[in-house]
Structure 1
Amino acid sequence: MSTIFLESKDNPKIKHLRGLIEQNSYRKKQGQTVLEGTHLCLAWLQENRRINSIFTTEHALAHPDFEEILKTYTGHIFIIGESLYKDLSTLGTTLACLAVIDLPSSSQALKFDADTLILENVQDPGNVGTLLRSAAAAGIKQVVCTKGSASLWSPRVLRAGMGAHFSLHTFENIALEDILPRFEIPVYVTSSHRSASLYSKDLSKACAWILGNEGQGVSEYALENAEAVVIPQPGGQESLNVAIAGSICFFEMVRQRL
């Protein structure tokens, strides 16, 4: 391990780090992203994945969490000032740790007979990360995102996913029209305006779930080419948050399979 002090915000390494944090196009061009926080770094290392470099502060480097990281990580650690770190961080409250990693490439093709989560234009990073976390917990192994959804490997989505990404096969910028006709299993779409209850469905075998945009919901194409279900809401609310709705669906599936 080598420790290098960086002071200027104009340092090329700092500019590279900022670009990865703030710009999806830059992440794609460089083939890299950023894990923020020691929890994500440790989870990544536990999967025997490689970290390219770590940016932190002198104060944070003395924390016990870093002792755990340094048992595995042997690369460069760049030390920056507290104010510069706060300027870069999307969190501001966790132990200072920004790790640059290579974007993983999917090693397998999309399976059309396996449990699948499909996100159609879900834009809020917190919702996307929460859905990935719930899907992983429910045993769903593959996630598909259409163009317009939040970037799965952005620092904010990674943070909300709390490490769920690392056990999932993810596919981005996929058109629904290209995949829906190919599924060999039931495909369900959540809609607050349809009458078929979620709890009336047999979810004991593999199925796919389409969850739509926070404001507009799913597209007409999804409604026409999938089986719409509604989550009963005796309290009379107009709709549920998409991450909560998805989690309810996933764990009704789990309940039926136990």
Structure 2
Amino acid sequence: MKLISSRDNPLFKELKQLAASAQARRKAGRSLLDGVHLAQAWLQQAQGAAPLICIVAESAEVNAEVVSVMDACRSLSGCQCIVLPDALYQSISQVENGVGLTLVVDTPQPQMPTQLSGASVLLDGLQDPGNLGSILRSAAASGIRQVFCSPGTVAAWSPKVLRAGMGAHFMLDIFENADLFMLCADAAVPVLATSSYATRSIYQADLQGEVVWLFGHEGQGVAPELMDAATTQVVIPHAGAMESLNVAAAAAVCFFEAMRQRQAAIIAAESAQ
């Protein structure tokens, strides 16, 4: 493990810039995974792709989980492992009272499909990092594998979204700056948008097959032209005076209702045999 103790070290300056600037991360095509959980998730899900850099705070060198990640990184060709004094480490970490471990990785760049043909999510102008991270977690947990984000949607690989996603990023193909209107127009499967003005309940919709879900901005919702491009609009019934659900909660309801219907169909088919 190489110890870097000077703030003037070129690598430290590069890491500090990556930590501070979304533009720098986009330009370099790199993301920072802060914490043991994200590091472990990357190593488990990235199919052998080595992190570029493993950064450890000096005080974390005695942490058993950190040592395990360090050992795994050192066994991978192409991963540089460095130790920073705690004061320097804190200047690149955005986690208060974190464990003292960060990986620098190449941001995955999956190939954009020509047509939507499987279970997917389209996100139009979502702004809150916590909402996006929560939607990614629910999508991954319910069997969805593709997420498409419009221009103007919060950066999917930002540190806050990564922390909220809790490793879901590495189980999904995430496409940013996607043309959602063209994807809707060419989709080979139904596109469903939630709307409080819809007359059809989500529980009345047939969700046993593959569907694409469309969700919009927390305040403004889905853009009108995109809403018109959806195959079907559905509403999530709820009691009380609340006008609507939080977008992340609404997405979870939709994803798991579709999963429930698929599993119910499988059970019914097995029972009929």
**TM-score, with normalisation over the residues of structure 2?**
0.88
Q: Deviations over 1:231-254 (max 9, x none)?
A: 111122112111111001000001
In the other structure, the counterpart of 2:60 is 60
In the other structure, the counterpart of 1:46 is 44
Aligned length: 256
Q: Distance in 2 between matches of 1:174 and 1:152?
A: 12
In the other structure, the counterpart of 2:103 is 99
SS at match of 1:71: helix
In the other structure, the counterpart of 1:86 is 90
Please state if 1:242 is matched with 2:242: no
Q: Deviations over 1:114-144 (max 9, x none)?
A: 0001111011111111101100000001110
Distance 1:110 1:25, change over 3 A: farther
Q: Distance in 2 between matches of 1:101 and 1:253?
A: 33
1:255 equivalent among 252, 256, 260: 260
**TM-score, with normalisation over the residues of structure 1?**
0.93
Distance 1:11 1:61, change over 3 A: same
SS at match of 2:81: strand
Amino acid at match of 2:130: G
| Structure 2 unaligned regions, length at least 5 | 264-273
- Kindly state the Cα deviation for residue 87 of structure 1 after the two structures are TM-superposed: 3.3
Stretch of structure 1 that moved more, 191-200 or 102-111: 102-111
In the other structure, the counterpart of 2:149 is 145
Amino acid at match of 1:252: E
Please state if 1:197 is matched with 2:201: yes
In the other structure, the counterpart of 2:13 is 15
Moved over 6 A (4+): none
In terms of Rg, which structure is larger?
A: 2
SS at match of 1:254: helix
2:118 equivalent among 114, 117, 135: 114
Q: Distance in 1 between matches of 2:110 and 2:17?
A: 23
In the other structure, the counterpart of 1:233 is 238
- Kindly state the Cα deviation for residue 57 of structure 1 after the two structures are TM-superposed: 1.2
In the other structure, the counterpart of 2:69 is 69
RMSD in angstroms over aligned alpha carbons? 1.6
Contact 1:120–1:212 at 8 Å: present in 2 too? yes
Contact 1:7–1:80 at 8 Å: present in 2 too? no
